[in-house]
Structure 1
Amino acid sequence: MNNLTDKFTGPGAKFLRAIQASMHFMIISSGCIMALTFFFVVVLRYGFNADLFAYEEWLMTVAFWMFFMASAVATHDNAHINADILGIFLKSPTLSWIRNIAVKAIELIVLLYLTYLGYIMVAEEVAAYPNWQTSIALKIPFLVPRLGIALGFLMMTVYTALSIYVLLKERPYSLPDETKVEAEG
């Protein structure tokens, strides 16, 4: 797996690793919450002929956070689904590198726009206080899932920008190590 944060050192890398760990925690916690909720829904419904009140509302919030944090992690790991047929046919490392930069640049442009829209969405919710839109039964503010969407897009944007930086820094070929050149000469 491509671990983007391993390519950085210093306090910024520690911060990136902390964010990555918190996203993994959110994803795992969300999965556990969803599994336990569905377990209790089934037990209550078929075992006691009862229903778990408004579970769909908190699951919606949990699902948004899980989905967008997982999307950010997939962007970090370069593990999201793609239909990369051209990459199979390109044999030249330089052409492959140029194509990777072009794809990442387009991805970055799209993500910058989506991050901006996410910011607008959250800013409108905050500006509407105290008249926030809320879920019907549990009165969960729409700000909560929308914040997960905005943060997910923000992290996808950050990771895409960092991957472009790494691509530019590493280049399509690796120059001979100076110590190897000296030893050979």
Structure 2
Amino acid sequence: MCVPSSKKWSAVAIRPVLKMGDPRLWQQARTVDFFATPELHALIADMQETMLHLDGAGLAAPQIGVGLRVVIFGFEDNPRYPEAGSVPYTILINPELTPLSDEIEEAWEGCLSVPGLRGSVPRWRHLRYTGFDPCGQPIERSVDGFHARVVQHECDHLDGILYPMRIRDFRLFGFADALSPDAENLPED
């Protein structure tokens, strides 16, 4: 029987988030082979606690030094992305992304591993993602807009990619408090 990841674990911890420059962030994450294990549920509980503590929109296991293909994302309201609509809370293991159109859009992103900086990043506007929940049950969703952006951002971490590596114009990358007021207020979608 699979224990839901929302269960409060007695050893839940806020983990330190690795920052850009740490070589562990450049590594390819390994596929999760076993679901519904106490270790997997403990990892997910720690990721949840860490993401909530830092007001993150998402978090990938490699960001806390665990080289597994596990991401979490979602929120109702997020102070870091006040213009974004809600994204359903999702635990996604061994994700696969498939673009549903050639449409690319540029929008502002930040990252818990690149604190204080923001950049304009191109992403697919529409995509389908598949993977598994913590119990090994399949997940499949077709999404667009900010939801699509968040899942792409988090899944990039699984392949050793941080968002600055995708920026096309470095005039649109910098410290959030130093970017022009017009740039900071561009819509997310």
Whichever of the two has the greater Rg, that structure is 1
Same fold, TM-score > 0.5, yes or no: no
**Relative to total residues, which structure has the larger strand share, 1 or 2?**
2
Q: Which has the higher contact order (CA 8 A, sep 6+)?
A: 1
**Relative to total residues, which structure has the larger helix share, 1 or 2?**
1
> With structure 2 as the length reference, what TM-score do the two structures score?
0.19
> With structure 1 as the length reference, what TM-score do the two structures score?
0.19
